[in-house]
Structure 1
Amino acid sequence: MVMEPSFYTSVPKFQLTIISLPKCITSQQLNLELPTFLYYQYDLTYVDLSQNNFSGTVPTWLLENNTKLEDLILMGNSFTGPLSSPSAPNSNVSLIDISQNKLQGQIPTNVCSPFPQLRQLLLSKNAFEGDIPPCLSGMKDLSILDLSNNQLSGRVPEELITKSSLTILRLSNNNLGGHVLPVILNANGLSNLYLDGNNFSGEMANVDVTISEFPTSLREINLGNNKFYRNLPRWMGNVSFLKGLALSQNGLKGSIPMEFCNLNDLEFLDLSENNLFGSIPSCFNTLNIKHVHLQGNRLSGPLPIAFYNISSLVTLDLRGNNLTGSIPKWIGTLCTLSVLLLKDNHFHGEVPVQLCKLHSLSIIDLSQNMFSGIIPSCLGNLTLSMDGNKILFRGEYRPSLTEDGLMNKLGRLHGVYSYPSSYLEEAIEFTTKSGFYSYGGIILAYMTGIDLSIL
């Protein structure tokens, strides 16, 4: 970006419709203010000034000066202070993204009234505190709401889940609490619900529900890192249309219900870091499962035939359990397996040569077991190739304005700014150079490693 000289004060002779200047400020140019020529623009419909480290308060005057504005993207800057609402309504605004800034204070209770047609509101990764404004539940066009990674507290307004128009609701990593599970069962239209990293509590299996009562729109649920307890609910295994289910880091105990074998559409399952015990159900062989995380429990018994010949399986993480027996020879049937983590169990016997048939393998951890015999020499022939399948579930997005997108915006057609189809991010833990680290997101595509150590 060519910064204007400080003495430049004349009114420009042009009126822009679109301005897209993401990632234009270098790291040496810190805490810059918005160019003053923007004060004299009145026809803007699309503004993307993301990831430029602009400082000061959020420029609500852009919304007030440009009554045609549809998309305002200010993510990844250094805007500070409280968020204030514009003085007059703007009925054309469809998208507001002020995520990844340094905003503080409460989200204004009147944040809804100036934007009657708002479809996407993204305020994640700031320092907002206090309650979620109740008015968000009544926005008839709002389909995506992301308030994750703030310091919000209190309860989630029930109507936000049950009576709103939302399809994606992300409230991850806040201080929210209460008994939210009965409310989820009355969700109307939600497809993706992310409530992980909060203080929600309750006994999941104690909820009385039949399959006919469960909202059929839900495809992904993340309730990980909360305070749910007691047994896994059997009714959840009958929700056959779920594609992603994460219940990690809670206080769940007991065995994995046989009803979970009915999750035929499931692609992502994370029950890790609980107190589950017993054997893994032998029927756990859905055709679509890609990522299985059962580490950090007290599961026992041999590696079940459940995973035999699953052609879609990419990640199998069974670390830190009480599993016994040998690695079965049918392990060679998992043709797409890329990550195999069996660390810290009680496996014994030889390392089977069938592992060498897994040409997609890139990360293998068999450490802290009781294997014996000769290490198969064919392991040295594994290419440990980079594999993009490991990052099927991705986390962040970045706005872009392509030539086609530009034409779409000029034609007043939305769809340039897309939200991820999933926020169930695939992540694994692996020891490298005596350090135990967690790797997630796109870095997984480049990760390779073999660990056969005792410790």
Structure 2
Amino acid sequence: MVVTIPGDIGNLKNLEFLNLADNNIAGIIPPAVFNVSTLSIIALSLNQLPGHLPSNMGLWLEQLYLGGNQLVGPFPVSISNASQLTLLDMPNCRVLETLGLGDNTLIGGKLPGLVGNLSGSLVEFSADVCNIRDGIPSDIGNLSRLINIELAGNKLTEIIPATIGALKDLQSLSLSYNKLDGSIPSELCHLNNLAYLTSNNFSGLVPACLGDLISLRNLLLGSNMFSSSIPSTLTTLINLLILNSSSNSLSGPLPIDIGEWKALVSMDLSSNHFSSYIPTGIADLKDLTLFSLSNNRLTGSITESF
């Protein structure tokens, strides 16, 4: 039996919250759903909804959950006028412009034309594994209240726009498993609330100014093309919990003040070109549960205190 959303749901004129997530629902989303002007939250994630989103998506929406369905086609531009929207969640979606001959030839959609015009009230933008391509639009800096950006597992290219430094409330920036390149813009170092940073395919120097991100808890820079040493300034991140800079071309000695990372529980610096010895301060990292320096060029002995 195929479960569908009834078309007459639009008759519920006082409906404020519609939660049909994880119900194995198939069939298209009735346009009438978005005609209910009292409706502020729509949760339709984790179903089997096919087809396109209606073009008349409500301007009064505050939260919209669509992840884990089979939606195709461009994202309706009408959503960019939703002035009350605070959360847009679309992980594991397929927001597309073109559908090829089967799931292996999907051509992804673009963020430009949608992101910059979204509500200034938006606090969370989640579009992991959505097959999104091209670059991150520079006008993402207009979304001044964003606290989370989740864009991992797409086909994003080009560089991180410097305008992202305008997002002063940003706490999490997840860009892993894309094709972004270039260097990390120094403007990221202005984000004092940033606690979680992942990136990929970057090259050049690890910015010394990352040491200014006093709230940083997770710094994940593995599998990039960084070729500098680890800046000594990073040891000022005394609240850092996870550090992963594995599989790069980092060189030089390990930071002499490595013992300052006293809160660290996981450190992976494997598969680089680090040389010299292991600093004795490593023994001060009492909470480490994962520690990897494999595939480097370290010399000397392992300190007894460690």
Matched, 1:71 2:17: yes
The answer for the alignment partner of 2:68 in structure 1 is 125
1:176/1:199 contact within 8 Å kept? yes
The answer for the alignment partner of 1:325 in structure 2 is 252
Distance 2:168 2:5 in 1: 46
The alpha carbon displacement at 1:378 in A equals: 4.8
Alignment of 1:12-91 (within 5 A): 56-60=2-6, 63=9, 68-86=14-32, 90-91=36-37
Q: Structure 2 counterpart of 1:105, which letter?
A: G
1:63/1:69 contact within 8 Å kept? no
Distance 2:7 2:249 in 1: 61
Distance 2:220 2:97 in 1: 30
The alpha carbon displacement at 1:315 in A equals: 1.5
The change in CA–CA distance for 1:179 and 1:93 in structure 2 (over 3 A counts) is closer
The change in CA–CA distance for 1:363 and 1:175 in structure 2 (over 3 A counts) is farther
The equivalent position to 1:362 in structure 2, one of 255, 276, 289, is 289
The answer for the alignment partner of 1:283 in structure 2 is 209
The answer for the alignment partner of 2:50 in structure 1 is 104
The equivalent position to 2:125 in structure 1, one of 193, 203, 214, is 193
Name the SS for the 2:29 alignment partner: coil
The answer for the alignment partner of 1:313 in structure 2 is 240
RMSD of aligned alpha carbons: 3.6
Give the number of the structure whose alpha-carbon radius of gyration is greater: 1
Q: Structure 2 counterpart of 1:343, which letter?
A: S
The answer for the alignment partner of 1:265 in structure 2 is 193
1:281/1:306 contact within 8 Å kept? no
What percentage of residue pairs aligned between the two structures are identical? Answer: 29
TM-score, scaled to structure 2:
0.78
Name the SS for the 1:343 alignment partner: coil
Alignment of 1:362-441 (within 5 A): 362-379=289-306
The answer for the alignment partner of 1:398 in structure 2 is none
Name the SS for the 1:284 alignment partner: helix
2:80/2:114 contact within 8 Å kept? no
The change in CA–CA distance for 1:62 and 1:338 in structure 2 (over 3 A counts) is farther
Alignment of 1:173-322 (within 5 A): 176-178=108-110, 180=112, 184-185=115-116, 187-189=118-120, 190-197=122-129, 198-202=131-135, 214-224=142-152, 225-229=154-158, 231-237=159-165, 240-272=168-200, 274-277=201-204, 279-286=205-212, 287-322=214-249
Q: Taking CA–CA contacts closer than 8 Å with sequence separation of 6 or more, which of the two structures ends up with the larger relative contact order?
A: 2
The alpha carbon displacement at 1:291 in A equals: 1.5
The answer for the alignment partner of 2:264 in structure 1 is 337
The alpha carbon displacement at 1:340 in A equals: 0.6
The alpha carbon displacement at 1:117 in A equals: 5.5
The change in CA–CA distance for 1:202 and 1:75 in structure 2 (over 3 A counts) is closer
Deviation by residue 1:313-336 (Cα, 9 ceiling, x = unmatched)? 111111111112332331111121
Deviation by residue 1:245-303 (Cα, 9 ceiling, x = unmatched)? 3344444444444444333332222222x1412x3233321211111122222222332
Matched, 1:154 2:97: yes
The change in CA–CA distance for 1:62 and 1:330 in structure 2 (over 3 A counts) is farther
Name the SS for the 1:371 alignment partner: coil
1:152/1:175 contact within 8 Å kept? no
Equivalent residues, number: 295
Distance 1:82 1:353 in 2: 62
1:196/1:226 contact within 8 Å kept? no
2:87/2:125 contact within 8 Å kept? no
Distance 1:356 1:64 in 2: 64
The answer for the alignment partner of 2:41 in structure 1 is 95
The change in CA–CA distance for 1:301 and 1:105 in structure 2 (over 3 A counts) is closer
Greater mean alpha carbon deviation, residues 145-154 or residues 307-316? 145-154
Distance 1:133 1:84 in 2: 15
Distance 1:118 1:236 in 2: 25
Name the SS for the 1:283 alignment partner: helix
Distance 2:303 2:56 in 1: 66
The alpha carbon displacement at 1:100 in A equals: 0.7
Distance 1:259 1:118 in 2: 32
1:222/1:245 contact within 8 Å kept? yes
